[in-house]
């Protein structure tokens, strides 16, 4: 039996229509010029733009320069959230960020993947939830469908491929639970 091969020429994702082409293009330009730039535009201005594109944004949200947000209409951010430089929120599906979450420099939230078992390499989507008090370390990756539960930590350069338990620290690729997170007063 001859094994099947991937046929990228057969890839179709026309079922996926996250918004009108005009809205996607408008957001692409705004994202490029006001978010994914080295210019430190005021947070109040960035929050205003996100809300204009249907994001739900809480109070005291800090968005550093060079942040790339795919689709703001799939983004919900609560209060007191920090998003560091070079963060990529590739939210092809819904991303929920609860209060007091820190997403450090260069981290990636990836809501899309491909089905490597199908010759057509179909697009697969999964929502991401970062619960209250989560810290996503620099250069780390949260994969589609993952929930980082309350006060969990994903350490620098780690990859979360499954849910993180509350109040635990995870490290590695794939990330494994290494110890309990104890918060001092």
Residue 41 forms part of a structural domain:
yes
**What is the arithmetic mean of pLDDT over 152-172?**
98
The rounded distance, in Å, linking the Cα atoms of 156 and 137 is 4
Secondary structure of residue 116 in the 3-state scheme: coil
**What is the arithmetic mean of pLDDT over 88-109?**
98
41 vs 2 pLDDT, higher one: 41
Largest CA-CA distance found in the chain, in angstroms, rounded: 64
Domain count, the chain: 1
Number of alpha helices (DSSP H) and beta strands (DSSP E) in the chain: 2, 19
CA angle 17, 78, 170 (to 5 degrees): 90
**What is the arithmetic mean of pLDDT over 151-168?**
98
Look at residue 2 and tell me whether its pLDDT is greater than 90.
no
Residue 13 forms part of a structural domain:
no
At residue 3, the pLDDT reads: 85
What's the pLDDT tens digit per position in 55-97? 999 999 999 999 999 999 999 999 999 999 999 999 999 999 9
Task: Quote the percentage of the chain above a pLDDT of 90.
Answer: 95
Residue 11 forms part of a structural domain:
no
Residue 182 forms part of a structural domain:
no
Residue 2 forms part of a structural domain:
no
At residue 94, the pLDDT reads: 98
Range of the domain at 66: 20-177
What's the pLDDT tens digit per position in 109-156? 999 999 999 999 999 999 999 999 999 999 999 999 999 999 999 999
Secondary structure of residue 118 in the 3-state scheme: coil
Residue 57 forms part of a structural domain:
yes
At residue 76, the pLDDT reads: 98
Position of tokens 């809480």?
Answer: 58
CATH number of 34's domain: 2.160.10.10
Residue 119 forms part of a structural domain:
yes
Residue 137 forms part of a structural domain:
yes
Helices (H), the chain: 21-30, 43-52
């Amino acid at each position: 039996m001859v094994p099947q091969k991937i046929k990228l020429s057969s890839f179709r994702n026309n079922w996926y229509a996250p918004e009108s082409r005009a809205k996607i293009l408008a957001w692409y330009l705004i994202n490029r010029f006001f978010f994914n730039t080295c210019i430190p535009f005021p947070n109040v201005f960035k929050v205003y733009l996100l809300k204009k594109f249907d994001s739900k944004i809480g109070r005291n949200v800090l968005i550093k320069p060079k942040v790339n947000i795919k689709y703001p209409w799939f983004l919900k951010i609560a209060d007191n959230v920090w998003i560091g430089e070079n963060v990529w929120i590739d939210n092809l599906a819904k991303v929920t960020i609860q209060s007091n979450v820190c997403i450090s420099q260069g981290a990636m939230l990836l809501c899309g993947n491909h089905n490597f078992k199908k010759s057509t390499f179909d697009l697969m989507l999964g929502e991401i939830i970062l619960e209250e008090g989560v810290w996503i370390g620099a250069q780390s990756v949260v994969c589609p469908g993952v929930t980082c539960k309350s006060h969990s930590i994903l350490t620098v350069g780690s990859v979360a491929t499954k849910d993180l338990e509350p109040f635990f620290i995870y490290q590695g690729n794939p990330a494994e639970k290494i110890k309990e997170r104890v918060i001092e007063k």
